[in-house]
Structure 1
Amino acid sequence: MADLPPRRVDPRTIRADDLRYLLAVSGSRNRSAAAAALGVDASTVSRRIRALEQALGVPLVRQGPTGWELTDAGRAVAETARGIETAVDGAIRAVTGTAGDALRGNVRITSPDAFGTYFVAPALVRLRAAHPGLTVELLTATRELSVHQSGYDLAIAVGTPLGGRLVSEPISEYALGFYASAEYLADHGVPATVDDVRDHPIIWYVDSLLQVGQLDLDKHLPGVTPRFMSTNVFAQVEATLAGGGVGLLPAFVADRHPGLRRVLRREVDVRLGYSLAAHRDRVTDPVVRALRDAVIGEVRARRSELLPA
């Protein structure tokens, strides 16, 4: 609550039920979804949030590019208000004698395209199977995370996310290597050295749009210039399969395609790392912990795909 400006707030003006509306918005980031979860109409959600903002004297939500986002003050208030959900669950247990499903609501995780598709998605499916009350959203984009970004409960990033208000931990390295289609190699020859690669079109990310410092090709292969570029790793794979040149591709993606052959395996073995991050005020949330455990469990079970021998 340290982010809230110093001012006097009359507790008699705050309705505890309005805090439930803020929690619903925190979980869904969508007014309609929050309304459905609460069994009210969308205008009621807006009205109750505005009433809470007026009582506290600070803005709690704002419109972001992917829906409603909580402000710093909104996140602080929502975190404190989670005790209300605990109390409701306790009341239900006292009456029914059952614990019910402790994990529910709407949660969002962001991840790079390929890792999100092949590792996060199956982890989320298994998490939902154990907790049907959860609605999960997976956003995929290859970008560098910073403390100023919001709109997610958990994030996967290449490298180490920036910012003191983000709590992060490394989850695994992954290997990248040079791949080409069998047809391309038959037509253009197999490069025997890294210097030979310079005679081939290299498939990689768009330099001018690169948002992750660790993906700067010059850091790993100085002097190698890409000739076919895309912001999407799956487009890079398809271009390589189509004979567009030699792609520097994640092994866990390229090895899924029998039509691709790895070249210069010993000479070129680039290693990058994935990290997992959450805002500091969210790391103790049971849903965030469950998301983290599900992703890490998936990685541990399939680490050989990320780092093939």
Structure 2
Amino acid sequence: MSGTVDVRSLRADDLRYLLAVANTGRLVAAADALAVDHTTVSRRVRALEKTLGVRLVERGADGWELTETGRAVAEHARPIQEAVERAAKAAAGVHDDSLTGTFRITAPDGFGTAFVVPALARLRDQHPNLSVELITATRQLGLHQSGFDLAIAVGKPVASRLYTERLTDYTLDLYASDEYLARYGEPTTMDELKTHSLIFYIDSLLQVGDLDAAKLAPGMTARFTSTNILAQLEATCAGAGIGLLPKFLAIRGGNLRAVRAGQKPMLLSFTLAARRDSVTRRPVQIVRDALHDEVRSRRAELI
């Protein structure tokens, strides 16, 4: 930025529009959150950029994403928005300390369903005015992705500018249904295992290095593949082959048992990630604690 911004020309209300884009990553979603038209969001953000003399948002692969300067401006603006919300509560005679607004978290399909959902459900009991959005997909997490408050990824995210910490370890093993094993026999060696069909992810669409079938199930050919781990679980239960599944999902199958054939369960991990400029925010800390509590209390399902 060149020169000094005239604070008198800066409209604090424009910062709300930038925050909405930061929280949602979509102009239409930001407009819905603010109850305005998406063209209004675009116009107000552009006006803020003109006042500050810098680019704050740019078009990304998954929607609109904030530039580095935009993220810095948004985080400095966030306390202003929170102060406005507290003032509105005080005027209405509301004195509780509950969270409000929208919180977005991304997580892999299976873990998001089995662990994130119950953690968020209990959190909403404590904070009924909090809206939660869960986006599920098993993909590599990078800093270019916009519009999340917390993210959970398999292994360690590639973006070094994210704050990351290990959430939990979990085991991955080969499982088959009792009916499948009765029909095709139970493999007891690696050579026998190679004659069975593997149920796993679609290799060409999977961008998570830790989930490599060649390393996890060497010699097996994947003949039933899906981008969704819950579909893989159902296919395994239905006897479509031998599934490479996390323990916490396999135990939900009911009729599944581990197929060892000489190999040991594989240990992987889930990583919790947040932008460094938002990790100290109270909502992020509260959701983070809820997730850690969830995996701590259910460790036996994971390993």
TM over 0.5: yes
5 Å matches for 1:200-279?
200-264=196-260, 267-279=263-275
Which shifted more, 245-254 or 258-267?
A: 258-267
SS in 1 for 2:210: helix
Aligned residue type for 2:102:
N
Quickly say closer, same or farther: Cα 1:239–1:37, change in 2 above 3 A. closer
Quickly say closer, same or farther: Cα 1:199–1:35, change in 2 above 3 A. closer
How far apart, in 1, do the equivalents of 2:206 and 2:85 lie?
45
Q: After superposition, what is the alpha-carbon deviation per residue over 1:81-123, rounded to whole angstroms, capped at 9, x for unaligned? A: 1221343355457656753344221221111110011111111
Aligned residue type for 1:81:
A
Quickly say closer, same or farther: Cα 1:218–1:40, change in 2 above 3 A. closer
Structure 1 residue 37 displacement after superposition: 4.6
SS in 2 for 1:80: helix
Q: Which residue of 1 aligns with 2:103?
A: 107
Q: Which residue of 2 aligns with 1:46?
A: 42
The percent identity for this pair of structures is 56
Equivalent residue for 1:179, pick from 175, 178, 184: 175
Quickly say closer, same or farther: Cα 1:68–1:129, change in 2 above 3 A. farther
- Whether 2:117 is the aligned partner of 1:121: answer yes
Quickly say closer, same or farther: Cα 1:248–1:33, change in 2 above 3 A. closer
Cα RMSD after superposing both structures: 2.4
Structure 1 residue 61 displacement after superposition: 2.9
Q: After superposition, what is the alpha-carbon deviation per residue over 1:43-74, rounded to whole angstroms, capped at 9, x for unaligned? A: 44333222111111223234556554333222
8 Å CA contact 1:101–1:133 kept in 2: the answer is: no
SS in 2 for 1:298: helix
- Whether 2:33 is the aligned partner of 1:14: answer no
8 Å CA contact 1:28–1:105 kept in 2: the answer is: no
- Whether 2:164 is the aligned partner of 1:168: answer yes
How far apart, in 2, do the equivalents of 1:29 and 1:100 lie?
29
Structure 1 residue 42 displacement after superposition: 4.4
8 Å CA contact 1:194–1:264 kept in 2: the answer is: no
Q: Which residue of 2 aligns with 1:71?
A: 67
TM normalised by structure 1 equals 0.88
SS in 2 for 1:214: coil
How far apart, in 2, do the equivalents of 1:22 and 1:100 lie?
27
- Whether 2:191 is the aligned partner of 1:195: answer yes
Structure 1 residue 186 displacement after superposition: 1.0
How far apart, in 1, do the equivalents of 2:103 and 2:233 lie?
30
How far apart, in 2, do the equivalents of 1:296 and 1:114 lie?
17
Which shifted more, 212-221 or 166-175?
A: 212-221
- Structure 1: tracts of 5 or more residues without a match: none
Aligned residue type for 1:56:
L
SS in 1 for 2:295: helix
Which shifted more, 78-87 or 207-216?
A: 78-87
Q: Which residue of 1 aligns with 2:79?
A: 83
Aligned residue type for 1:116:
G
8 Å CA contact 1:220–1:270 kept in 2: the answer is: yes
Quickly say closer, same or farther: Cα 1:37–1:148, change in 2 above 3 A. closer
How far apart, in 2, do the equivalents of 1:91 and 1:230 lie?
49
Which shifted more, 100-109 or 135-144?
A: 100-109
How far apart, in 1, do the equivalents of 2:234 and 2:82 lie?
48
8 Å CA contact 1:105–1:133 kept in 2: the answer is: yes
Q: Which residue of 1 aligns with 2:126?
A: 130
Structure 1 residue 215 displacement after superposition: 0.6
Which shifted more, 265-274 or 120-129?
A: 265-274
8 Å CA contact 1:177–1:262 kept in 2: the answer is: yes
Equivalent residue for 1:146, pick from 142, 145, 148: 142
Structure 1 residue 278 displacement after superposition: 0.6
Structure 1 residue 260 displacement after superposition: 1.8
How far apart, in 1, do the equivalents of 2:136 and 2:69 lie?
27
Q: Which residue of 2 aligns with 1:60?
A: 56
8 Å CA contact 2:62–2:146 kept in 1: the answer is: no
Which shifted more, 125-134 or 168-177?
A: 125-134
The aligned length equals: 303
How far apart, in 2, do the equivalents of 1:53 and 1:196 lie?
64
SS in 1 for 2:277: helix
Q: Which residue of 2 aligns with 1:156?
A: 152
8 Å CA contact 2:196–2:220 kept in 1: the answer is: no
